[in-house]
Structure 1
């Protein structure tokens, strides 16, 4: 049985990985995050506080547990925040990865790094793994820099790029497209939604599966992991409205230009998933199925 250490275990993806390992007993898990553990149960895994910006702490914690693999989920992911705070973004998204690379090198550990569709410019999606990167935002740039550091290293690395992750946990530090849309529609708040950006939204459970498959199969290289449905952000919001029988007449479709966001977004991303399906046995849910899973989870907590 492999020992897996997860960074950012308090986040949505981190909690889904914890949930899956605890339920299946498929690996030994060391969950790490900055601050106290937010996962509701302490059974079936170990938790250690670890700030990825503190190289000495990273070295000590990983050196102590000696995992077979590190799944690095901690990052600055808000695109506009990253654009406005490039220094902090660089520290979190690039320097922290350099620290992990050197620790994994010293201890012979596989490093699974979470990247993004924002490494592409969106001129020609859906993208394959070997398509040329050309980020439009500082966030995308920081992810490309980290990817390059991995590719130039001698460690066993796996890059998992993903798109617009959605899902729910019982202690969320930030929202996501589906929860945001559902919340706004239920409150009947008028919302503007872009109709010219195309994505393939990814269920957090599917992404957690892919991360664990990458460990199990000792995968190397880059993998594209997302949902299988290709649609505009406006379509996503409409499907959320339809699923929960909410009125979408309050939704106004707008073009990206009208939003004045500080960071540029790629227009058409989306992924070609053949490699992940063939190499690691990745099998994503449809968006409808994802909403159903989300709905069941929400109901089971009330």
Structure 2
């Protein structure tokens, strides 16, 4: 049984990987994150504090546990924050990856790195893995720099690009497009959403499964992982409203230009999933199925 170390295990994706490992016992898991463990259960895996910006700590923890693969989920992912704080973004999204590459090279470890659809400019989506990158934001640029570092390295690397991840953590602490839309609609707050940006939103459980499949199969190279439904941001919000029977008359569709966001977003991304389906056996849920899973999880937490 392989040993997998996860960075950023307190985040949404990290928690979903932990849930899957506990439920299935497919691998031995070492969950790591900055600070204390926020996952509600401490059995079925090991936890170690690890700040990816502390190279000595990273080296010590990884050398101690000697994983077969590392799934690197820790990153700065807020696009506007990254645009405003480029040095911090560079440290988290590029320097930390170089630290991991160095340790993986010394210990013969596979590095599975999470990347993004924002490496593309959105002019020609949906994209295949070998399509030309052309980021429009500093966040996208930082992810391209990390990808380039991996491709130039001598390690066994895997890049998993994903799109607009949604899901729910145990402590409900992390928001995303679905939870934001549901919350705003329930409170009957005016909601402005763009109708000219198109995405394929990704259920966090599906992304976690893809990461574990890549680790279990020692799959190398670039993989595109997302949901199967291609829709505008406005469509996503409408589907959220319809699922929970909320009034979407308070939703106002706007163009991207009216929002004055500091970071430029690509207009149309989306992924061609054929490679992941063929190589990994990846099988994503539909958006409707994903909303049902979220609904069931929320109801389960209310009953506890």
Same fold? TM cut 0.5: yes
Aligned to 1:276: 276
Aligned to 2:145: 145
Aligned to 1:247: 247
Q: Please list every run of at least 4 consecutive aligned residues from structure 1 whose deviation after the TM superposition is greater than 6 angstroms.
A: none
| Residue 127 (str. 1) matches residue 142 (str. 2) | no
> Quick check: 1:11–1:172 contact (8 Å CA) kept in 2?
no
Q: Report the CA distance shift for 1:52/1:173 in structure 2 as closer, same or farther (over 3 A).
A: farther
- What CA deviation, in whole Å up to 9, does each residue of 1:124-160 have, x standing for no partner? 0000000000000000000000000000001000000
Shift of 1:173: 3.8
Aligned-residue CA RMSD (Å): 0.5
Question: What's the secondary structure of 1:47's corresponding residue?
Answer: strand
- What CA deviation, in whole Å up to 9, does each residue of 1:143-193 have, x standing for no partner? 000000000001000000000000001224431000000000000001100
Shift of 1:266: 0.1
Distance 1:44 1:282 in 2: 25
| TM-score in terms of structure 2 length | 0.99
Shift of 1:48: 0.2
Shift of 1:121: 0.1
Aligned to 1:66: 66
Aligned to 1:12: 12
Question: What's the secondary structure of 1:48's corresponding residue?
Answer: strand
Question: What's the secondary structure of 2:284's corresponding residue?
Answer: coil
Distance 2:217 2:239 in 1: 35
> Quick check: 2:166–2:202 contact (8 Å CA) kept in 1?
yes
* Paired residues for 1:24-39 under 5 Å: 24-39=24-39
Aligned to 1:155: 155
Aligned to 1:168: 168
> Quick check: 1:117–1:162 contact (8 Å CA) kept in 2?
yes
Aligned to 2:188: 188
Aligned to 1:109: 109
5+ unaligned residues in a row in structure 2: which ranges? none
Aligned to 1:209: 209
> Quick check: 1:11–1:173 contact (8 Å CA) kept in 2?
no
Distance 1:291 1:49 in 2: 32
Distance 2:212 2:26 in 1: 9
Count of residue pairs the alignment pairs up? 302
Distance 1:188 1:173 in 2: 21
> Quick check: 1:75–1:92 contact (8 Å CA) kept in 2?
yes
Distance 1:217 1:186 in 2: 43
Question: What's the secondary structure of 2:123's corresponding residue?
Answer: coil
Distance 2:173 2:251 in 1: 26
5+ unaligned residues in a row in structure 1: which ranges? none
Distance 2:171 2:92 in 1: 22
Aligned to 2:220: 220
Question: What's the secondary structure of 1:132's corresponding residue?
Answer: coil
| Residue 40 (str. 1) matches residue 40 (str. 2) | yes
Distance 2:160 2:180 in 1: 25
| Residue 262 (str. 1) matches residue 270 (str. 2) | no
Question: What's the secondary structure of 2:253's corresponding residue?
Answer: strand
Shift of 1:222: 0.1
Shift of 1:229: 0.1
